[in-house]
Chain A
Amino acid sequence: MQLGFIGLGAMGRPMAEHLLRAGHELSVWSRRPESAAALIEQGAQWYASPAEVARHAEIVCTNVTGSADVEGLAFGSEGLAAGLAPGSLHVDFSTIAPSAARHIAARYAATGVDFVDAPVSGGSGGAQSATLSIMWGGESALAARLQSVFGVLGKTIVRVGETGAGQVTKACNQMVMVAAIEAAAEAALLATAAGVDFSKVRAAMLHGSAGSRVLDVFGGRMAMKDFRRGVEARLHHKDYALLMDEAARIGAPLPVSGAVAQQLNSLMSRGWGTDDTSSLLRVLEAGCGTDPAR
């Protein structure tokens, strides 16, 4: 199949490589051409604009940062909309506001182009090992066409509902995950402050009712005091703005998430935005007399 891919960062590049290796023809464009160099060596074709990529693809995939980036790629000058033929498809893997996804889909609909929001979970590790969870929203009739893309990239593929449903799911995913990271951090703080070794506490909890993937992975980083590797906390912070805004728009009370968002705000100010989100433990320590910065 003729595919396009834009957004060749830590997530996008391994995803694009998998698509190439699966035998798809791949057209790419990038703001910084050097981020496409490795893919071009592997056989991808470079074009001078998103519109040009769109002219050479039945499905264009994007994976960028925010709502405004996706909108710019789609409808900016020489954007995808200028090149996508009726019947073609834009699949966006970025995490953006559900309302932005719905808005983009509505604008495309006027020209007969389909839009699917398909945010992913699993991080760059999941992108590299093609084990992402893909949660998508859009016309169910598109499922068969999407399978040739999604099947190459992910392990768990769920169509959640209409356009925007993928982004709502991603918001729920981030909410549950970061709240669990905060809970693990609070357990680590309490255990340590009470004079108990958290790595033993974690080991004891891991296979009981409180066991979870977050306690395993992020709790492990907390036990090792290894805050550098993993997911950049600033990305979770960005996602929290989206989900808290959605909650206010709807009138949905999210008391725990509201509190977790404040811990993330503090994490950003303390300068740990490019470290792993297990740094939420360091935010707690800063208020506990074991602050390493003191």
Chain B
Amino acid sequence: MKVGFIGLGLMGRPMALHLEKAGHELHLWARRPESLAPFAKVNAKTHASPAEVAAHAEVVIVMVADAPDVEKVCLGADGLAAGGKAGLIVVDMSTINPNAARSIGLRLAEKGIDFVDAPVSGGETGAINAALTVMAGGKAAAFEKVRPLLEKMGKSVTLIGDSGAGQVAKACNQILTGVGTLAVAEAFNFAAKSGVDPARVREALLGGFAYSKILENHGQRMLDRNFKPGFKAWMHQKDLRIVMEEAHRLGLMLPSAAVTAQVFNAIVGSGMGENDSISALMLLEKMSTPG
């Protein structure tokens, strides 16, 4: 298949390479030409604009930072909509506001272009190992056409519902992982300040009802004091901001997510935004120590 790919960062680059390895012909555009270097020796053609990519591809995958970026790539001057023919499918794998996704989908539909929101969880490691969790929203027919592509990048690929539903699922994922990471950090700090070894606590809890992947994986990295990303704290902060914006719009009470969002503000504000989001532990340690 001729597949366009825009957004060749930490996540996008390995994802695009998986598609090429599976035999697909890549059509690329990048804001910074150096992002194209890893594709020099593979089956990939580079183009001068998203519009040109859209004109040469059956499916275009977008993996950028935030809603304004997705909007610009899709609907800006020389965007995908300017070059795509009716029948093109745009798959946005970025994490953006569900409402923004719905509105971009509607505007692309005016041109006969299908839009699937398909944000992922699993971080850079998941992208490199083709083990991402993909949560999709959009029309079933469009989803079925792109499912084989998504399965080359992810281990678990689920159509959740209509347009925007993938982003809603991702927001739910970020509530659980954000609150969960903070809970593990609080438990470890509580144990340590009580004079108890958090490693022993973790071991004991892994067999019980408090077991979670976060306790197992993030917990181990906290014990190893390995704060390299992973998933950067500023990205988790951005995602929680989306959650809280939607809570405001819908009139929802999300007390735990709200507190967690404020802790992530503190992580980013105190200069740890480029670390992994398990840096929540370092923040709590700092806040529980004489200044």
Could you list which residues of chain A lie within 8 angstroms of chain B, going by C-beta atoms?
Answer: 237, 240-241, 244-245, 247-248, 250-255, 257-259, 261-263, 265-269
Contacts and interface: CB of A to CB of B under 8 A. Distances in A.
Given A241-B248, A248-B237, A253-B262, A262 B269 contact: no
Contact of B258 (A250, A262, A269): A262
Given A245-B241, A255-B259, A259-B258, A265 B248 contact: yes
B265 A265 contact: no
Interface in B77-128: none
Contact of A258 (B262, B267, B268): B262
Interface string B242-265: 001101101111110011011101
A252 to B, nearest CB: 6
A254 B262 contact: yes
11 contacts: A240-B248, A244-B244, A245-B241, A247-B265, A253-B265, A258-B244, A261-B258, A265-B247, A265-B248, A265-B254, A269-B251
Contact of B251 (A245, A258, A268): A268
A258 to B, nearest CB: 4
Contact of A262 (B245, B247, B267): B247
Contacts of B245: 241, 245
A251 B237 contact: yes
A253 B251 contact: no
B253 A250 contact: no
B261 A262 contact: no
Interface of B: 237, 240-241, 244-245, 247-248, 250-255, 258-259, 261-263, 265-270, 273
A251 B268 contact: yes
A267 B1 CA distance: 51
Given A240-B248, A262-B247, A262-B253, A251 B269 contact: yes
Most buried by B among A250, A257, A258: A258
A-side binding surface: helix, strand, loop or mixed? helix
A226 to B, nearest CB: 23
Contacts of A262: 247, 253-255, 258
A266 B253 CA distance: 5
A241 B244 CA distance: 9
A239 to B, nearest CB: 11
B-side binding surface: helix, strand, loop or mixed? helix
A267 B252 CA distance: 9
A262 B260 CA distance: 13
A240 to B, nearest CB: 7
Given A245-B241, A248-B261, A251-B237, A261 B251 contact: no
B265 A251 contact: yes
A274 to B, nearest CB: 13
Given A253-B266, A253-B269, A269 B237 contact: no
Contact of B269 (A241, A252, A263): A252
B257 to A, nearest CB: 9
B67 to A, nearest CB: 13
Nearest to B234: A251
Given A262-B247, A262-B253, 8 more contacts: A237-B248, A247-B262, A255-B259, A261-B244, A262-B255, A262-B258, A263-B253, A265-B253
A259 B251 contact: no
A267 B266 CA distance: 27
A94 to B, nearest CB: 19
A265 B248 CA distance: 6
B236 to A, nearest CB: 12
Contacts of B240: 248
A214 B21 CA distance: 65
Top 3 A-B residue pairs of the complex, sorted by shortest distance between their CB atoms: A251-B269, A269-B251, A253-B266
Nearest to A249: B241
B265 A248 contact: yes
Given A245-B241, A248-B237, A258 B269 contact: no
A95 to B, nearest CB: 16
A252 B267 CA distance: 9
Contacts of A261: 244, 248, 258
A262 B245 CA distance: 11
A248 B267 CA distance: 11
B289 to A, nearest CB: 17
Most buried by A among B250, B251, B269, B273: B251
A237 B247 CA distance: 12
A49 B284 CA distance: 55
Contacts of B252: 265-266, 269
Nearest to B272: A251
A166 to B, nearest CB: 23
Contacts of B259: 255, 258-259
A268 B265 CA distance: 25
Nearest to A255: B262
Nearest to B242: A248
B219 to A, nearest CB: 23
A245 to B, nearest CB: 7
Nearest to B265: A253
B255 A259 contact: yes
A29 B41 CA distance: 64
A252 B247 CA distance: 19
A247 B253 CA distance: 19
B251 A266 contact: yes
A267 to B, nearest CB: 8
